[in-house]
């Protein structure tokens, strides 16, 4: 703290400091960082009131060890294999997260988005996983002349992992006059493998707004800050928001954005928790669209 205190026998010097760490949970560990160190000191001779410049420049003549300790994530920020409710502070602004066991893996009907949560006065928090890069966009999105079938949902299975997504407009968080259009999208990820546990480890999304020549690529670890483990038949479900700054092409289409991506996952061993490989597999999130409702598109 910028001081070199003098301590008489029995005296104590105490201070509090902060450690602003930029770190997110990895797998199910609760540890954010580890720290150890030492404090150098000078033993003053009888009659000596303070250390000499030479003693200070030499860094002291003895040391007191700072024992190893850890910075531990608080309970609400730890990765949980199974969860019932979670509010995320990154770009996904998750409002509902749950893990459920499904009774059938043969359904192909996309589940509709969950009911929107109440509006809040504070804006969505900015992402820790901001767009890392851009890619050339789809020409039909750039021109507004959409060339593929448009849907506000998708349902696709890759390597026994089904990803279902559906979107809904959030008028209470939108301002059409300012070209601010907010959507919620609900994602349900289901492990349809007959006997294999999996763990989701990261995500990657591509998002292109109407009229844009490029796609934003958003990627980061986990899902809503977590890396859930899914047993056969289990699903992980969450709802996120997509606050879009986009000028609609209402004379051509009600679509304001297109999104697709993938979730990376690893297969787990017989113990249900040890990865079989460090190379993740990909579960695709099929293409879907953020579409203005009739009242907004008119």
**3-state percent breakdown (helix, strand, coil) of the chain, nearest 5:** 10, 40, 50
The string of DSSP codes covering 156-206 is: EEETTEEEEEEEEE-GGG-BGGGTEEEEEEEEEEEE--SS--EEEEEEEEE
Instruction: Examine the pLDDT at 214 and tell me if it is beyond 50.
Output: yes
Average pLDDT value over all residues in the chain? 81
Closest CA to 230 of 185, 193, 187: 193
pTM for the model: 0.59
Q: Note the pLDDT tens digit of each residue in 107-123.
A: 333 333 333 334 333 44
Res 78: pLDDT: 58
pLDDT in tens, 264-297: 999 998 888 888 888 899 999 999 999 999 856 5
pLDDT single digits (tens) 3-54: 889 988 998 988 888 888 877 665 556 788 889 999 999 998 888 888 888 8
178 phi and psi angles, rounded to 5 deg: -100, 10
Q: Which of 119, 104, 162 is nearest to 286 (CA)?
A: 162
What percentage of the chain reaches a pLDDT higher than 90? 52
Compute the distance between CA of residue 164 and CA of residue 147 in angstroms, rounded to an integer: 23
Lowest mean pLDDT among 94-103, 153-162, 201-210, 223-232: 94-103
Q: What is the pLDDT of residue 29?
A: 66
Q: What whole-number distance in Å separates Cα of residue 117 and Cα of residue 4?
A: 53
Would you give the DSSP letter of residue 226? B
């Amino acid at each position: 703290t910028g001081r070199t205190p003098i301590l008489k026998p029995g005296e104590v010097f105490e201070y509090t400091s902060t450690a602003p760490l930029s770190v997110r949970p990895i797998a199910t560990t609760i540890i954010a960082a580890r720290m150890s160190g030492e404090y150098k000191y000078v033993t003053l001779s009888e009659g000596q009131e303070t250390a000499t410049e030479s003693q200070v420049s030499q860094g002291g003549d003895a040391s007191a060890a700072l024992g190893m300790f850890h910075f531990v994530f608080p309970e609400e920020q730890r990765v949980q294999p199974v969860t019932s409710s979670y509010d995320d502070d990154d770009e996904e602004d998750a409002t509902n997260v749950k893990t459920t066991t499904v009774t059938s893996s043969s359904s192909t009907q996309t589940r509709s988005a969950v009911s929107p949560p109440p509006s809040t006065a504070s804006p969505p928090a900015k992402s820790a996983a901001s767009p890392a890069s851009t890619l050339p966009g789809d020409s039909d999105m750039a021109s507004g002349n959409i060339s593929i079938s448009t849907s506000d949902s998708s349902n696709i299975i890759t390597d026994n992992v089904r990803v279902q997504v559906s979107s809904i407009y959030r008028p209470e968080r939108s301002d059409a006059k300012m070209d601010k259009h907010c959507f919620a999208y609900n994602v349900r990820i289901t492990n349809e493998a007959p006997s294999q546990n999996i763990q989701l480890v990261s995500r990657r999304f591509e998002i292109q707004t109407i009229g844009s020549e490029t796609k934003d690529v958003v990627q980061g670890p986990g899902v809503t800050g977590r890396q859930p483990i899914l047993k056969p038949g289990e699903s992980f479900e969450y709802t996120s928001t997509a606050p879009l700054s986009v000028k609609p092409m209402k004379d051509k289409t009600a679509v304001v954005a297109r999104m697709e991506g993938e979730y990376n996952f690893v297969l787990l061993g017989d113990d249900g928790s040890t990865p079989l490989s460090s190379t993740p597999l990909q579960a695709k999130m099929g293409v879907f669209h953020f579409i203005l409702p009739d009242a907004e598109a008119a």
